[in-house]
Copies of this chain bind each other. A is one copy, B any other.
Amino acid sequence: MSLENVAAGLRNEDGIATVIGVLRQRFGDRVQTGETLRAQHAHTTTYIPGQLPDAVIYPESAEEISVIVRACADHRVPVIPYGTGTSLEGHINAPHGGISVDTTRLNRVLEVNAEDLDCTVEPGVTREQLNTHLRDTGLFFPIDPGANASIGGMTATRASGTNAVRYGTMRDNVIAVSAITASGEEIRTARRARKSSAGYDLTRLFVGSEGTLGVLTSVTLRLQGIPQAISGGVCPFPSVEAACNAVIHTIQMGIPVARIELLDALQMKACNAYSNLGNPEVPALFLEFHGTEAGVAEQAALFGEIAAECGGGEFRWTTNPEQRTELWKARHNAYWASFTLRPGAKGISTDVCVPISRLAECVSATQEDIAATGLVAPIVGHAGDGNFHVLVLLDADNPAEVAAAESFVGRLNERALAMDGTCTGEHGIGQGKRPYLEKEMGGAIQVMREIKRALDPLNIMNPGKIFSFDR
């Protein structure tokens, strides 16, 4: 993956040194410059090399973030917002150096409005922390990208995950944000009403903007009532096509599946090995239904009929929580199970998303590409959304393998775009997907650049992410 070189000329050395001094005066030892800590803050879970920030700072309030941004603006130094560091496309790297703004200490749940099914949290609150906080209210926050990410990070990358098919993505579940813009001012994008047609949708503009337009200081989220009943199950299919046909019929019939996950045969094999399971090593769909007792039973029965019509095997399902966990074990452990296919390998996780009518074709062509390239790469898909992940297992020290994986990722993206899909369903652009975004958006990327230029004319907010942009 060719990232732009970190040319020395793009680092504002004087500004960086000055800002660190200014911030130290105000924040004392909440400004840290040790290399280990800085490396942790540039850590990415991808193969993209780490690019360290020059300092890490721990603000404790929106006002403090404003002070930091103003100082960085005065001296033209990059500001890189940091949540939990679980993003996948180099979002937290500092290609031009700068200050990593760690939001860990902004971790208060500011309010929960149970009657309105909403809450407002600081950006450093993690999704598990929020759901623990909500435990006694009968409500929960559904979005689950896998990692225990921060709400700020999930908002910034427009995260989603397994139950987006039912509850939507962060796009649909953020009611409003507050943010410090590049000029250091705090804005709030909306009130708490469930809908509004009041002017430009600034909330949606900030959701998915990857820290390039401001630093989030609070996020107001939509919550859901905990369903009365949950049922879950698993169903094998003779082929990816058969499984995808079952998904299409399920969505078309309007069955409100909470999750509908596809694992390919290789992934099923890995899960059997990892958890000592006896699942058939063929493509499988894992489902979950939320509703009333009668509702989830009806949904499961309807899906069972669809699966049978599509050539699926027995649909085993249950409302018993322990049995459900057992049935879902393969899906839950899929990521870690993958590494049994190649112990010691590094995993590159990449995602694309296509219209669901093209999902079977896209997954099958990708499997053929994997075989032809000689890669080991299981596939897991959020099939109801047409979104799937390929985990390429490689020896990161073998340049030929890395090159083969990179060219495979390139073809995967071209394939998705050719099917009117997107180069990323939920990971975001960061650094890794920038070339594909150019292809996906055509002239519209210029509109994105004009917005960026208008709101961050000095290009200090997380520069080098989403698109290239000269200062």
User: Which A residues are closer than 8 A to B by beta carbons?
Assistant: 113-118, 138, 157-160, 164, 168-169, 171-172, 181, 185-202, 204-205, 207-209, 224-225, 227, 248, 251-254, 256, 291-292, 294-295, 298, 302, 353-357, 385-387, 416-417, 420-429, 433, 437, 440-448, 450-451, 453-455, 466-467
- CB–CB A225/B253 < 8 A: yes
Known: A294-B298, A447-B455. A193 touches B442 (CB 8 A): no
Q: Is the CB of B195 within 8 A of A426?
A: yes
B254 near A200: Cβ-Cβ < 8 Å: no
Q: Are A117 and B252 in contact (CB under 8 A)?
A: yes
Contacts of A254 in B (CB 8 A): 224-225, 227, 291
Partner of A199 from B387, B417, B441 at Cβ < 8 Å: B441
The answer to whether B451 touches A200, judged by C-beta atoms less than 8 angstroms apart, is yes
Closest Cβ–Cβ distance, residue A412 to chain B (whole Å): 14
Q: How many copies does the complex hold?
A: 2
Q: A193-B386, A451-B451, A453-B454 given as contacts; is B353 within 8 A of A199 (CB)?
A: no
6 contacts between A and B (CB under 8 A): A187-B446, A193-B354, A193-B385, A197-B422, A199-B429, A450-B455
**Residue numbers in B under 8 Å from A444 (CB-CB):** 187-189, 202
Given A199-B437, A200-B205: A425 touches B116 (CB 8 Å cut-off): no
Contact between A200 and B466, CB atoms less than 8 A apart: yes
Q: Which residues of B contact A423 (CB under 8 A)?
A: 198
Q: Report A102 CB to chain B, min CB distance, Å.
A: 23
Which B residues are in CB contact (< 8 Å) with A256? 256
B199 touches A207 (CB 8 A): no
List the 10 closest pairs (A to B, CB-CB), nearest first: A204-B204, A454-B454, A115-B357, A196-B422, A158-B197, A187-B444, A193-B353, A225-B254, A116-B355, A192-B420
The answer on a CB contact under 8 Å between B428 and A191 is no
Q: Complex Cα distance A153/B192, Å?
A: 25
**Looking across the interface, which residue of chain B has its beta carbon closest to that of A224?**
B254
Give the complex CA separation of A403 and B292 in angstroms: 52
- From B357, B424, B442, give the contact of A116 (CB < 8 A): B357
Chain B residues positioned under 8 Å from A455 (CB to CB): 447, 450-451
Apart from A197-B429, A198-B423, what 15 extra A-B contacts exist at CB < 8 Å? A115-B356, A117-B251, A158-B196, A188-B442, A192-B421, A193-B354, A197-B428, A198-B429, A199-B208, A199-B437, A199-B466, A200-B448, A202-B448, A205-B451, A294-B298
